[in-house]
Structure 1
């Protein structure tokens, strides 16, 4: 009996340690244009992102300025993989966010200019949590391409 109780306690402690080990992406972030790669898409002149990440809740406020003007978006997810709905440029965006190891993977699908757009973002922290790298794979009817966004904590 004691052995079972001890095993249960060790298992619970291990699960708690794993849950606590997930990176926290909270902070105010600014794009490093020199380290980012927008591939075939024109890069914005500037891009900032305010991220609030507490427990399972993730709130992302992005502002970018470029050839298309000033664009701001606000997205909310839970990092448990459950479906979340957001509005992006007036269109519904269905998405999920979940951890895969130390990486956060956000997948979303929405309509954009009459086309179906699917994105898969893989977030990772480096430099002691001071650099956020987002690898973004986009799929549209014309094909697929990848972007790399490097943000520095302010």
Structure 2
């Protein structure tokens, strides 16, 4: 249980997945998610883990090509890395040097797919040497000013979910 709490502390806000569709998602099957998105802590649900001090995600989308730059700050330190993938394409390993050699958490690979208007990003990760999966579903509000992400984390030590809300800057 201690390991799950530690994992939750490191991963909350990093994991990616969108809320269930609620009120006002555009009818378009592939919404434009481009932009800088700042975490709205008050509207997010981190479960038992404390929220990050700061978090933002910069989404760069060109058709089915994505780059999601994640910047996360916690009391334990900062993380900054980029997930690059083509929706519907092969699983992509993260670039060498994306994480410090001694980082307890690392993203190993990423893959994206559209499920209607929801972008589902699956990351294979390593936490303290144990591999697992983060499955994040991104959905965009109808006015395109709010990005919602529901994330399911699955590790050998257990599973948990987070829901994060981001406002467009």
Same fold (TM over 0.5): yes
Equivalenced residues, count: 135
Which residue number corresponds to residue 22 of structure 1? 30
Report the structure, 1 or 2, having the larger strand content.
1
Whichever of the two has the greater Rg, that structure is 1
| Unpaired runs of at least 5, structure 2 | 1-27, 101-105
In the alignment, the residues of structure 2 paired with residue 95 and residue 148 of structure 1 have an alpha-carbon distance, to the nearest angstrom, of 20
Runs (4+) of structure 1 exceeding 3 A deviation are none
Query: Does 1:110 find its partner at 2:92?
Result: no
In the alignment, the residues of structure 2 paired with residue 92 and residue 73 of structure 1 have an alpha-carbon distance, to the nearest angstrom, of 9
TM-score when normalising by structure 2: 0.74
- Report deviation, 1:89: 2.5
Report the structure, 1 or 2, having the larger helix content.
1
| Unpaired runs of at least 5, structure 1 | 1-19
Name the CA shift for 1:92/1:104 in 2 (closer, same or farther; >3 Å): closer
Q: CA RMSD in A?
A: 1.6
Matching of residues 134-145 of structure 1 within 5 Å: 134-145=149-160
Higher relative contact order (CA 8 A, sep 6+): 2
TM-score when normalising by structure 1: 0.81
Q: Could you tell me which of 93, 100, 125 is aligned with 1:85?
A: 93
